[in-house]
Structures are given as C-alpha cells and as structure tokens.
Amino acid sequence: MLRSAMDVVTYALLFASLYFEVFLLVSFLEKRAERRAARAKRGASAAPEPALPSAAIVVPCFNEERGVASTLESLLALEYPAGRLELIVVDDGSRDRTLAIARSLEGVRRGIPVRVFAKENGGKHTAMNLALEHTNAELIGCLDADSVVDARALRRIARVFENREVAAVTPGIHVRAPETILQHMQNVEYRLSVFNRFMLSALGSAFVAPGPFSVFRASVVRELGGWRHGHSTEDMELALRIQAAGHLIANAPGAAVHTTAPRTLRQLFNQRVRWTYGFLRNAADYRYMLANRAYGNLGILVLPLALVSIGAALYFFARIVLSAAHAIIATYTRIELTGLFPHPSLELYYVNTSAMWFLVWIAVALILVLVGTGSRIGGKKTLPLGTPLFVLFYSLLVPLWLGTALVRAVFKTGVSWR
C-alpha cells in the first residue's frame, strides 16, 4: 500500500515537472514568432528611435577590494549617450581597501561621473536606498561588485522601458570565467536560468530581479517605498512588490552580464540557502498572491509550482536515499546467507523500459533542450562544457540546501550574506 502511494506521488510530481517544462517550451515558440513579427514591423517603420532615458548604475560594496575596480571599468565602457549615465558606488562599511579603490576612481571618467558614498554597514538594501536619494536619473540599476557587463547591455535594457508598463528589466546572467568543476556546473544552471527568466518575464510572472544588472524605473521604486531587507533577498522582495502593484518585469537576454559564481561547495551552499530561504519567507509574506487569479500566471501557476518544486526535489532525494539503503541492506543480507559476493555486469542490450524511467529520460532530454535554448537566446552557440556533470550530479546537491533552507524558514532563524 505504501509503495503504491509513493508511486502515485512520484508519477504526479514527474508529470507536473514535465508539464511545466513543455509549457515553457511551447510558450517560447509562440513568443518567438511574435517577437519576429514585431522586429519586422519595427524594421519597416521609418520613425526615429526615441532618446534613451537617463540612468544611474549603483555598485553596492562590502569587502569587494578584489572585484570593484574591474566592475567599474566594465561600467565605464558602457556604450550610452554622453550625459545620460552616472555611476554611484556605495561602500557599506567595508573593512578592506574597497573604499580606497573606489575613491581612486571617483570623478568624471570617460565623460561619466563617478560618485562614491560611504556608510556604516546596514545591508545591500540600505546602500541602494542611499543611492536612490542622491540621483535624479529616470532609471536606477544595480551591479554587484563581483560582476562585469557587456558594453551594449544598458542600451539594450533601456530600450525595453519604452513600454510604460515596464517597471524593471533583468539581463541575461552568465558565469564569469568558470574554472572549478562546481563553477562549470553552475554555468549550465545559469544558461537554463537565462531561458527560465526570459519565459517568466514573457508570461508576466518574474518574481526576482537579480543583483547583477537589473534596472528599475526610479519613479516606481520611489512610489513603492524603495528597497527592503526582504529576508536577505531584497531583489526578490522588490520584484514581488512590483508585481503586486500591477507593474511588469521584462527581460533582455541579449544584455549580458557575467557574475562570479561560488568556487567551493561551502560558498555555493551558503548562497543557495540564502536564496531559497528568502524565497520561502517572501512567498509567505506575499501568500495572498498564491492561487490568486488577479496576479495571472504568477499567482495561478508559477509561485505554486515553485513551491511544489522544492517539495518534489526533497521527495525524490529521499526516495533515492531510501532505495539505495534498501539495495545495500539486501545485498548485505544476500552475502550473509550465501557467502557469495555479487559481480557487476553490463547488459549491453538491456534498457529499462518502465514508465517511470521513460518519464525520467524525457525530463532529462527536455532539460537539455531548455539549456540549449537558453544558450542560444543568450548569444551562446554551444552547450556548456559542464553539461554532463550538471545532469549527473547537480540534482544530488540541490536538496542539501533546499532542506536546510526549509528548516530555517519554518523556524525563522534567518540567514546571512557571508
């Protein structure tokens, strides 16, 4: 009876996963046709492009002496109209040479004013709010001090704001110069995220505007009260608040930004616990959006499935662990009774054709298709080098931080950036 119930749960979760993946892929094909028609229409129009809005890009820093200079250099290389761009560095109480390095780059450089502010440590949201108080730019963006942007990224993002309903635009985020095995696996994950972020925005259901180069309409941010702590995920909280207020969050996958991914398992674990904890706590704060038709795809489909996906990952991990334990016990018992050790064998012409494995293989194939699609719309022509490792091993790591974050969210223990 218990095994039958577990099989029902397994099939239901596999079906939900496949349904969502196919739904996103079919929606992408529909949106691609619409985008092609829109581009053809714009190409046939002789109307001049409107002037780009003024923009302020904020670099909030805490102990970022290694990366702040390269981050600012990439921003100074942005192709944007003279007099329409300013850079604001906010040192959030760093204890290293971050402030000194930023001060050395202060002033007008390459026609772009660079201003530096220093404050006591209060978190990223307080740094962003300080910058908001000191700019009159129409757009305000954020670039984490461990990231760099392509020269045309801001121009591509700014064009999206021609739609007055758009309050924020997210970029296409890629891993910066992956070196370790873990970074190569994350590179695959980020390619998949490029596709997911593009489609969630197209469906009006983006629920995070990540730190690496998300840009906001400053008037809307002020109207909504600025950035909040958001359980250490201020980018997710603001995105949900923007959606709740009826504004749109768009995506410009061609606006490439490259961010430094965690090099070690411990760094990755801490980062993902914070992300997942923030999602769970913010979902609880905005629970009125769940299953609420007033919030469209976000309320009816995306947020509920995001929560289900966490439970599904933990369920499948537990089932794998239990199955492995059962196999080990059975093998040990057989050895004890017969005195014979099992010999591994390879059946070249045997393929497990059970319905469950058939669904698993379809799910893996769909993931590869989505990674490839994310690579193409992000301007990459081939699958990332770490794709096989991602498929084989990454799913075994994910439940570790999902479970930890779930426990912390239930007990409201909080998380930290470092």
* Residues 265 and 182: beta-carbon distance below 8 Å: yes
Q: Residue 78 region, left (φ>0) first, then alpha (ψ -120 to 50), else beta?
A: beta
Tokens of 129: 């709010």
Does some domain include residue 283?
yes
Residue owning tokens 């390879």: 346
pLDDT at 355: 75
Q: What pairing do the DSSP bridges indicate for beta strands 215-217 and 147-149? A: unpaired
* Residues 193 and 373: beta-carbon distance below 8 Å: no
pLDDT at 124: 96
pLDDT at 42: 59
pLDDT at 338: 82
Does some domain include residue 382?
yes
Does some domain include residue 331?
yes
Closest CA to 77 of 26, 116, 111: 111
Does some domain include residue 298?
yes
Does some domain include residue 90?
no
Does some domain include residue 109?
no
pLDDT at 323: 85
| Residue 292: CB atoms within 10 Å | 15
pLDDT at 32: 76
Per-residue pLDDT of the chain (418 residues; tens, 9 = 90+): 666 777 788 888 888 888 888 989 988 988 777 767 666 665 655 556 789 999 999 999 999 999 999 999 999 999 999 999 999 999 999 999 999 999 999 999 999 999 999 999 999 999 999 999 999 999 999 999 999 999 999 999 999 999 999 999 999 999 999 999 999 999 999 999 999 999 999 999 999 999 999 999 999 999 999 999 999 999 999 999 999 999 999 999 999 999 999 999 999 999 999 999 999 999 999 999 999 999 999 999 999 999 999 999 999 999 889 888 988 998 888 888 887 777 666 565 566 667 777 888 888 999 999 999 999 999 998 999 999 999 999 999 999 999 999 999 999 998 876 6
pLDDT at 77: 97
Structural domain that includes position 227: 1-27+138-418
* Residues 278 and 232: beta-carbon distance below 8 Å: yes
* Residues 201 and 243: beta-carbon distance below 8 Å: no
Count of domains observed in the chain: 1
Does some domain include residue 110?
no
Residue type, 221: V
Does some domain include residue 367?
yes
**Interatomic CA distance for residues 149 and 109, integer angstroms:** 17
pLDDT at 239: 98
**Interatomic CA distance for residues 3 and 10, integer angstroms:** 10
pLDDT at 44: 58
- The predicted model scores a pTM of 0.92
Q: Which residues contact 330 (CB under 8 A, 6 or more apart)?
A: none
